[in-house]
Amino acid sequence: MKLHTYVNFPGTCKEAFHYYETHLGGKTVMISTFDQQPDPKHIPPGLEPSGVLHARMELGETFLLASDGPKERVQPMRSAYLSLTVKSDAEAERIYEALSDGGEVFMPMAETFFASRFAQLRDKFGINWMILHEKPMQRPA
């Protein structure tokens, strides 16, 4: 079994995926729009025919799945986060700078008892992120 995250954007899925490709090193492997579906085309009210029906991005060792939804129904994430575990403090800082640009920081990048770098934020697309570079953990005796 595999668990993948599926998120909705208020008409900004293509823009968000391009941003994540640029700043997170993701690779969009599939994107389809409402106008590409077979007839009869079902385009929800408030969405453009060029809006994203389904997208899939390879991101690290997993996939991020997404689509556009009606602006009045798509709300920023509230109690769920996409958690990025990175290999260095420098990578954590770089990603933090990119994702916090135009977003809302909940916990600025800092050292914690479990991570040499850790932060929580909502990016400009409404997606919540945790970014961490873990400290080596002591094994219980």
User: Which CATH number characterizes residue 140's domain?
Assistant: 3.30.720.110
Burial bucket for residue 5 (CB in 10 Å: 0-12, 13-18, 19+): middle
Q: What is the pLDDT of residues 53-66, one digit of tens each?
A: 999 999 999 999 99
Residue 45 has pLDDT above 80, yes or no: yes
Q: Are residues 90 and 29 in the same domain?
A: no
Q: Tokens 């700043």 identify what position?
A: 23
Residue 139 has pLDDT above 90, yes or no: no
Q: Residue 48's closest CA among 12, 9, 7, 11? A: 11
Burial bucket for residue 20 (CB in 10 Å: 0-12, 13-18, 19+): buried
**Domain region containing 64:** 1-75
Q: Are residues 70 and 93 in the same domain?
A: no
Q: Are residues 67 and 85 in the same domain?
A: no
CA distance 25 to 41: 33
CA distance 91 to 89: 5
Q: Are residues 69 and 82 in the same domain?
A: no
What confidence tier does 140 reach under pLDDT thresholds 50, 70, 90?
A: low
* pLDDT score for 141: 66
The torsion region of residue 89 among left (phi > 0), alpha (psi -120 to 50) and beta comes to: alpha
In the chain, the number of structural domains is: 2
Q: What is the pLDDT of residues 70-100, one digit of tens each?
A: 888 888 888 899 999 999 999 999 999 999 9
Which of 56, 75, 94 delimits the end of a domain? 75
Q: Are residues 86 and 65 in the same domain?
A: no
The whole-model pTM stands at: 0.90
Residue 36 has pLDDT above 90, yes or no: yes
